[in-house]
Amino acid sequence: MEFLWDVIRDAVAALGDFGPELREVLWLTIVVSGLATVIGVVTGVPVGLGLGLGRFRGRKVALTIVNAGMGIPPVLAGLVLLVVLWDDGPLGGLDALFTPGAMVAAQALLAFPIAAGVTAAAVANLGFDAREHIAALGLSRTGTAAVSAREVWPGIVGATAAAFGRVVSEVGAVLIVGGNIRGETRVLTTAIVEEARQARFGAAVGLGVLLLVLALVVSTVLTATQLRRADG
Amino acid sequence: MAEAFVFTGPFRLPRGEALDVAELSVGRGERLVIFGPNGAGKTTLLRHLAGTLTGAPVDPGIAYLPQRAHAFKGSARRNLLLGLAKDRHGAAEHLAAELRVSGLLERAAVSLSGGERQRVALARALAGTEPLVLLDEPLAAIDLRDRDTVAAAIVRALEGRSGVIVTHDEATAAAVGDRIAVIVDGSIRQVGPVADVFSLPADEEVAAVVGLRNVLEGDVVAAGDGLVAVACGSVEVWALGELDPGDPARVLFGGETVTVSPPAPMTSSARNRWTGRVLTVRRVGRLVEVIVDVGVPVAAVITPGSFEALGLGEGSEVAVSFKATAARAVAVGIHH
Q: What mean pLDDT, rounded, does chain B reach?
A: 87
Residue partners of B136: CB distance under 8 A and separation at least 6? B42, B43, B46, B65, B66, B67, B166
The per-residue pLDDT for range A84-131, each reduced to its tens digit, is 999 999 999 999 999 999 999 999 999 999 999 999 999 998 988 899
Residue B212 has pLDDT above 70, yes or no: no
- Residue B334 confidence class, pLDDT cut points 50, 70, 90: very low
8 Å CB contact of B74 and A135: no
Average pLDDT over residues B101-127: 95
CB neighbourhood size of B325 (10 A): 18
Q: Which has the closest alpha carbon to B211: B22, B37, B17, B13?
A: B37
CA distance A123 to chain B (A): 13
Mean pLDDT computed over A170-180: 96
Q: Would you give the DSSP letter of residue B75?
A: B
* CA distance linking residue A110 with residue A103, whole number of Å: 11
Say yes or no: A56 contacts chain B, CB-CB below 8 A: no
pLDDT tens digits for range A125-139: 898 889 999 999 999
Rounded Cα distance, A202 and A195, in Å = 9
Amino acid at site B67: Q
| pLDDT value of position B151 | 86
Main-chain phi, psi angles of B179, to 5 degrees: -115, 160
pLDDT tens across A184-214, in order?
999 999 999 999 999 999 999 999 999 999 9
> Which positions ≥6 away from B56 have C-beta within 8 Å?
A55, A135
The 3-state secondary structure of chain A reads CHHHHHHHHHHHHHHHHCCHHHHHHHHHHHHHHHHHHHHHHHHHHHHHHHHHHCCCCCHHHHHHHHHHHCCCCHHHHHHHHHHHHCCCCCCHHHCCCCCHHHHHHHHHHHHHHHHHHHHHHHHHCCHHHHHHHHHCCCCCHHHHHHHHHHHCHHHHHHHHHHHHHHHHHCCHHHHHHHCCCCCCCCCHHHHHHHHHHCCCHHHHHHHHHHHHHHHHHHHHHHHHHHHHHHHC
Higher-scoring residue by pLDDT: B146, B185: B185
Please give the Cα distance from A20 to A84 (Å, whole number).
33
Determine which of A107-116, B74-83, B138-147, B222-231 has the lowest per-residue pLDDT on average: B138-147
Return the HEC string of B96-130.
HHHCCCHHHCCCEHHHCCHHHHHHHHHHHHHHCCC
A5-14, B8-17, B309-318, B321-330: which has the minimum mean pLDDT? Answer: B8-17
B250-259: average pLDDT: 85
Report the alpha-carbon distance of residue B151 to residue B138 in Å, rounded: 9
Phi and psi at A21, nearest 5°, equal: -65, -45
Judge residue A57's burial from the number of C-beta atoms within 10 Å of its C-beta, 0-12 exposed, 13-18 middle, 19 or more buried.
exposed
Q: Which residue of A has its CA nearest to B52?
A: A132
**Is B89 a residue whose pLDDT tops 70?**
yes
- A contact test, residue of B64, B70, B86 with most A CBs within 10 A: B70
User: Is residue B197 pLDDT above 90, yes or no?
Assistant: no
Res B16: pLDDT: 73
Distance CA B172, CA B57 (A): 28
- How far apart CA A116 and CA A45 sit, in angstroms, is 5
Rounded Cα distance, A67 and B229, in Å: 72
The shortest C-alpha distance from B105 to chain A (Å) reads 13
pTM: 0.76
- At residue B336 the predicted structure's pLDDT band, cuts being 50, 70 and 90, is very low
Q: What is the per-residue pLDDT for B109? A: 94
Q: Do residues A52 and A119 lie in contact, with contact meaning Cβ atoms separated by under 8 Å?
A: yes
Q: How far is B145 from chain A (nearest CA, A)?
A: 27
Instruction: Find the DSSP H helices in chain B.
Output: 42-50, 76-81, 89-98, 114-127, 147-157, 170-176, 194-199, 204-209, 304-310
Q: In this predicted structure, what is the pLDDT of residue B39?
A: 86
State the Cα–Cα distance between residues A48 and A60, nearest whole angstrom. 12
Higher model confidence: residue B147 or residue B237?
Answer: B237
The least confident of B98-102, B250-254, B323-327 is B250-254
More confident residue, A121 or B11: A121
Identify each DSSP E strand in chain B by its residue range.
Answer: 3-8, 11-12, 18-19, 23-27, 31-35, 62-65, 132-136, 162-167, 179-184, 187-193, 214-224, 227-232, 235-240, 248-253, 259-261, 272-284, 287-293, 297-302, 317-322, 327-331
Interface probe, candidates A51, A133, A140, chain B, greatest B C-beta count within 10 A: A133
**3-class state of residue B43 by DSSP:** helix
Interface TM-score (ipTM) > 0.85 = no
CATH of domain A2-231: 1.10.3720.10
Contact criterion met (CB < 8 Å) for B125 and A147: no
Structure confidence at residue B215 (pLDDT): 74
Looking at chain B, the whole-number percentage of residues with pLDDT higher than 90 is 51
Mark yes or no for CB contact A135/B52 under 8 Å: yes
Please report, for chain A, the start and end positions of each structural domain, with discontinuous segments joined by +: 2-231
